[in-house]
């Protein structure tokens, strides 16, 4: 059965470009981003891993660890990393998991037979510190991922995990957020002293509470 939001991210132990690691142990108390790639030395993936490496400080600021995964082996990963560093003008400093037997890909439902019987599609999972899956996005192999959107979702997930708010369409860090319906309008001032705007009884906006 495919993973669903709220499920525990399956743990695994695997060889990676930085040595053997176990997912849950590697993540510790951090958030995690696990994303798959159809194969090493593929063009779109090369740009994706380069982009991710350039965003290292952004992920660190969000207490988030990143792992990539490909169905090729560690030796291939090391050669591919050289190409990524050269062509993308960066330094890959996160592990690339070797999944030659495709066990992890099967565990996370990263292989879709309608697309390919052997290669992973572009699946991405955000995993919370309690090891539950908070986001699942799957792109076709021909479309590179938008990593600014991944950072935006991380900001939203981390904010809404700590406050009784939700984030509206196209929300970005620093913008107003939505007060969840479970909070009565008369109780908002005590919980959100920055004030609020009632657009409709079910749509109440308040400044981002953690800024």
Whether 108 is catalytic? no
From first CA to last CA, the distance across the chain in angstroms is 40
Catalytic residue among 9, 23, 33, 45: 45
Q: Report the distance separating Cα 179 and Cα 168, nearest Å.
A: 10
Two structure tokens written together for 39: 């194969």
**DSSP3 helix / strand / coil % (the chain, rounded to 5):** 30, 25, 45
Which of 16-46 are b and which e, b meaning 16 or more Cβ less than 10 Å from the residue's Cβ? bbbeebebbebbeebbbbbbbbbbbebebbb
Structure tokens at 60: 């660190």
Indicate the Cα dihedral angle 101, 102, 104, 110, nearest 10°: 180
By CB neighbour count within 10 A (0-12 exposed, 13-18 middle, 19+ buried), where does 179 fall? buried
Residue 161 tokens read as 């995990």
Q: How far is it, in rounded angstroms, from Cα 7 to Cα 171?
A: 26
Active site residue ranges: 45
């Amino acid at each position: 059965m495919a993973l669903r939001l709220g499920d525990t991210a399956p743990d695994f132990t695997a060889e990676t470009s930085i040595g053997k690691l176990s997912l849950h142990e590697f993540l510790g108390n951090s958030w995690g981003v696990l994303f798959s790639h159809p194969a090493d030395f593929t063009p779109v993936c090369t740009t994706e891993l380069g982009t991710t490496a350039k965003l290292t400080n952004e992920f660190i600021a969000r207490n988030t660890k990143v792992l990539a995964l490909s169905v090729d082996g560690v030796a291939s990963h090391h050669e591919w990393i050289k190409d990524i560093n050269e062509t993308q003008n960066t330094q890959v400093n996160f592990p690339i998991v070797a999944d030659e037997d495709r066990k992890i890909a099967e565990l996370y439902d990263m292989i879709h037979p309608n697309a390919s019987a052997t290669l992973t599609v572009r699946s991405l999972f955000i995993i919370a510190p309690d090891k539950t899956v908070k986001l699942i996005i799957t792109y076709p192999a021909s479309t590179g991922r938008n990593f600014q959107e991944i950072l935006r979702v991380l900001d939203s997930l981390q904010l809404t995990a700590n406050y009784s708010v939700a984030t509206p369409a196209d929300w970005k860090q620093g913008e107003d957020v939505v007060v969840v319906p479970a909070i009565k309008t008369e109780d908002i001032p005590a919980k959100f002293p920055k004030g609020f705007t009632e657009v409709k009884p079910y749509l109440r906006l308040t400044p981002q509470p953690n800024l």
